[in-house]
A and B are shown apart, each in its own frame.
Chain A
Amino acid sequence: MAEVPIDIDHVARLARITLTKEEASRFSSQFARLFEFIGELQALDVSQIPATAQVIPLTNVLREDEVTPCLSRDVALENAPDKEGPYFKTPRILE
């Protein structure tokens, strides 16, 4: 089995997901098999190869800066878990 280089607890914190101990250990062992595949990529010499981020021949799609209809504030707030007046409401962000 390939070595799993991931520090799961650290990455879970970066991803803002609390994992249980059971989840962390199960994901770790599942990643082990995946990293056998991912390890194969290290064998290829790609030093001269450009990266492909997307495949379509488009760059810098521009349009006129015109105001067009969009969601009203009320509609945008309809799915809010909590709101107060015209605002989304969350637990405190700053001390």
Chain B
Amino acid sequence: MSKTGHEIRDAIARKELSAVEAAETALAQAQSFEPQLHAYIRLLPERAMTKAREVDARVKSGQSLGPLAGVPIAVKDIFCVDGEITTAGSKILENFRAPYSATVVQKLEEAGALIIGKTNMDEFAMGSSCENSAFGPTHNPWDLEGVPGGSSGGSASTVGAGTVPIGLGTDTGGSIREPASFCNIVGVKPTYGRVSRYGMIAFASSLDQAGPMTLDVRDSAQTLSVIAGHDPMDSTSVNVPVPDYVAALRTDLRDVRVGIVSEFETEIGKTDPDMAALYKAAYKDLERLGARLVDVHLPHARYGLATYYLIAPAECSSNLARYDGARYGRRVSGDGDVYAMFERTRAAGFGDEVKRRIILGTYALSAGYYDAYYGRAQKIRTLIKKDFDDAFALCDVIACPSVSTPAFELGAKTQDPVAMYLMDYFTIPMSLAGVPALSVPAGYVRDLPVGLQIVARAFEEAQMLGVAHAYEQATHHANLRTPVVTLSGRAS
């Protein structure tokens, strides 16, 4: 069975394992799996080994160790890592070398983590399958013909394969939770404002959040404790205390009211009875642990998808205006003026989905249409947020589906963007409301893993992680089976 981050860190502290050995093992496995998974855009062996030797020197000299000392991790290629190429999955940034590290990357390395590579992703985090990467798709370690989910598909795939215990992802409408569900791991989208976005390439700035993707809930709690907190470099990061999330982990659910969303249960019952049955069993498990189930309503959640597909493209069209070929990234000039350079650079540098969303967002913000589309979407966002406020008056956390299906086959939805967008039906409302949400392994449907979503009030990640931990420790779904990816290079 794969080692978790806390197991690796403890073994290093007890001198049963060196950080160099941990890094070498992870790098060798990553290389061996790459032909099957293509989880990475770039491996960083030198960086990982340098950091590993630093950790081992600290162990040898008896210095204190960080909470992630010697733990190999993988970072989505949307985070700037000082001196390393950072592409966001796009041709337009193919040769962009980050001049500084994202705050979260800096915090992880200060905590002793070893970054072994930058993981594949949908271009600029726009997608739900990792197939929109300019560098080819990633595969699912539980079904090599299946997608890993997206946009944080590379991080999900490599953690799901057990190569590293911890990956870093970003979630704008479900980009951590959906791939976590598909790859049988834990994925946490923190409250908007909980984690700094400095050095994280922007997609939709009122929605983007960084979060951990891990083999178990304890590693997510530990990682979030490291990366959360106010950052003067990001004025939307909120200055509220960060609790010790590991200390908040619990093993029973006495006195916890768990909200079950009536509208979601109707929806999942219609779309997939097998999925509905799995979630019913999960709610029963929560009840057995002492939780009290209460019915709650999110009447406007059904408008989430349409609202999101106005707000997110609008923000993306504004954020991605910076890729113009003038200061960094790819340039296609030819002969002509600067406007011809902008238009050619962007035509050549962006893939289909990014172009689609920029066009849609530009339209939603354009003169004469702003009120009808973007303005209206922002008002409906208010209604969706209020739904959560009302629901959380009746319950402490919400339990609901993370996804409507297990992982689908590569290519199944690439010609139909709306079918792809629907993958985020159950995750988008939480993003619009800004509340924290996670996906935790909940069992198997048609032999593929599926996650349960736990949602909490803003800044109550401790409660959310506590509930997920109790559920995980009582069920151990992720450990009941093993992924199909093999070290020999062939699927078993």
List residues of chain A with CB under 8 Å of any chain B CB. Answer: 5-6, 8, 11-12, 14-19, 23, 27, 30-31, 33-34, 37-38, 40-42, 44, 46, 49-58, 61, 63, 71, 75-76, 78-82, 88, 90-93
- Nearest residue in A to B358 (C-beta to C-beta)? A15
Asked if B309 and A37 make an inter-chain contact with CB atoms under 8 angstroms apart, the answer reads yes
Knowing that A56-B193, A81-B331 touch, tell me 18 more A-B residue pairs with CB under 8 angstroms. Answer: A15-B362, A16-B324, A16-B343, A17-B350, A19-B347, A23-B355, A30-B417, A30-B418, A31-B360, A46-B380, A49-B382, A52-B381, A55-B192, A79-B99, A79-B327, A79-B329, A91-B341, A92-B337
Known: A31-B360, A50-B379, A52-B378. A81 touches B330 (CB 8 A): yes
Q: Does B310 contact A (CB under 8 A)?
A: yes
Report 11 cross-chain contacts, Cβ distance below 8 Å, ordered by A residue. A11-B366, A19-B355, A27-B356, A31-B360, A34-B418, A44-B303, A46-B376, A51-B378, A52-B378, A52-B385, A90-B325
Contacts of B232 in A (CB 8 A): 63
- Nearest residue in A to B339 (C-beta to C-beta)? A16
- Indicate the size class of the contact surface on chain B: 35 or more
Q: Does B28 contact A (CB under 8 A)?
A: no
Asked if B305 and A37 make an inter-chain contact with CB atoms under 8 angstroms apart, the answer reads yes
The 6 closest A-B pairs by CB, nearest first: A55-B434, A79-B328, A81-B331, A51-B378, A46-B379, A61-B235
- Beta-carbon contacts of B428-463 to A below 8 Å, as 1s and 0s? 000011100000000000000000000000100000
Asked if B326 and A88 make an inter-chain contact with CB atoms under 8 angstroms apart, the answer reads yes
The CA-CA distance from A91 to B343 in the complex, in Å, is 13
Contacts of A23 in B (CB 8 A): 352, 355
Asked if B206 and A54 make an inter-chain contact with CB atoms under 8 angstroms apart, the answer reads yes
The CA-CA distance from A77 to B378 in the complex, in Å, is 38
- Nearest residue in B to A89 (C-beta to C-beta)? B326
Interface centre among B99, B350, B458 (most CB of A within 10 A): B99
The CA-CA distance from A44 to B421 in the complex, in Å, is 22
Known: A34-B421, A49-B383, A54-B236. A17 touches B358 (CB 8 A): yes
Contacts of A88 in B (CB 8 A): 326-327
Asked if A56 and B327 make an inter-chain contact with CB atoms under 8 angstroms apart, the answer reads no
- Nearest residue in A to B306 (C-beta to C-beta)? A37
Contacts of A53 in B (CB 8 A): 206, 378
Asked if B359 and A71 make an inter-chain contact with CB atoms under 8 angstroms apart, the answer reads no
Shortest Cβ gap from B415 to chain A (Å): 9
Asked if B337 and A91 make an inter-chain contact with CB atoms under 8 angstroms apart, the answer reads yes
Shortest Cβ gap from A70 to chain B (Å): 10
Contacts of A71 in B (CB 8 A): 99-100
The CA-CA distance from A14 to B359 in the complex, in Å, is 9
Contacts of B336 in A (CB 8 A): 91
Q: Does B338 contact A (CB under 8 A)?
A: yes
Contacts of A8 in B (CB 8 A): 359
Known: A41-B380, A55-B385. A34 touches B309 (CB 8 A): yes
Shortest Cβ gap from A24 to chain B (Å): 9
Q: Does B408 contact A (CB under 8 A)?
A: no
Asked if B331 and A82 make an inter-chain contact with CB atoms under 8 angstroms apart, the answer reads yes
Contacts of A27 in B (CB 8 A): 355-356, 359
Q: Does B392 contact A (CB under 8 A)?
A: no
- Nearest residue in B to A34 (C-beta to C-beta)? B418
Asked if B328 and A80 make an inter-chain contact with CB atoms under 8 angstroms apart, the answer reads yes
- Nearest residue in B to A13 (C-beta to C-beta)? B343
Asked if B206 and A40 make an inter-chain contact with CB atoms under 8 angstroms apart, the answer reads no
Asked if A79 and B97 make an inter-chain contact with CB atoms under 8 angstroms apart, the answer reads yes
Known: A6-B359, A46-B380. A78 touches B99 (CB 8 A): yes
Contacts of A56 in B (CB 8 A): 192-193, 236, 238, 434, 458
Q: Does B373 contact A (CB under 8 A)?
A: yes
Asked if A51 and B206 make an inter-chain contact with CB atoms under 8 angstroms apart, the answer reads no
Contacts of A51 in B (CB 8 A): 375, 378-379, 381-382
Asked if A15 and B317 make an inter-chain contact with CB atoms under 8 angstroms apart, the answer reads yes
A17, A34, A78, A93: the one within 8 Å of B338 (CB):
A93
- Beta-carbon contacts of B296-328 to A below 8 Å, as 1s and 0s? 000000010111011000000100010011111
Q: Does B277 contact A (CB under 8 A)?
A: no
- Nearest residue in A to B205 (C-beta to C-beta)? A54
Asked if B360 and A14 make an inter-chain contact with CB atoms under 8 angstroms apart, the answer reads no
Q: Does B292 contact A (CB under 8 A)?
A: no
Asked if B356 and A30 make an inter-chain contact with CB atoms under 8 angstroms apart, the answer reads yes
The CA-CA distance from A93 to B252 in the complex, in Å, is 66
Shortest Cβ gap from B228 to chain A (Å): 14
Shortest Cβ gap from B171 to chain A (Å): 14
Shortest Cβ gap from B476 to chain A (Å): 35
- Nearest residue in A to B330 (C-beta to C-beta)? A81
Contacts of B340 in A (CB 8 A): 91
Known: A54-B236, A55-B192. A40 touches B382 (CB 8 A): no
Contacts of B306 in A (CB 8 A): 37-38, 40-41
Contacts of A82 in B (CB 8 A): 331
- Nearest residue in B to A61 (C-beta to C-beta)? B235
The CA-CA distance from A80 to B373 in the complex, in Å, is 37
Shortest Cβ gap from B65 to chain A (Å): 28
Contacts of B362 in A (CB 8 A): 11, 14-15
Asked if B377 and A41 make an inter-chain contact with CB atoms under 8 angstroms apart, the answer reads yes
Contacts of B95 in A (CB 8 A): 79
Contacts of A93 in B (CB 8 A): 337-338
Shortest Cβ gap from B422 to chain A (Å): 9
Known: A6-B359, A52-B382. A17 touches B346 (CB 8 A): yes
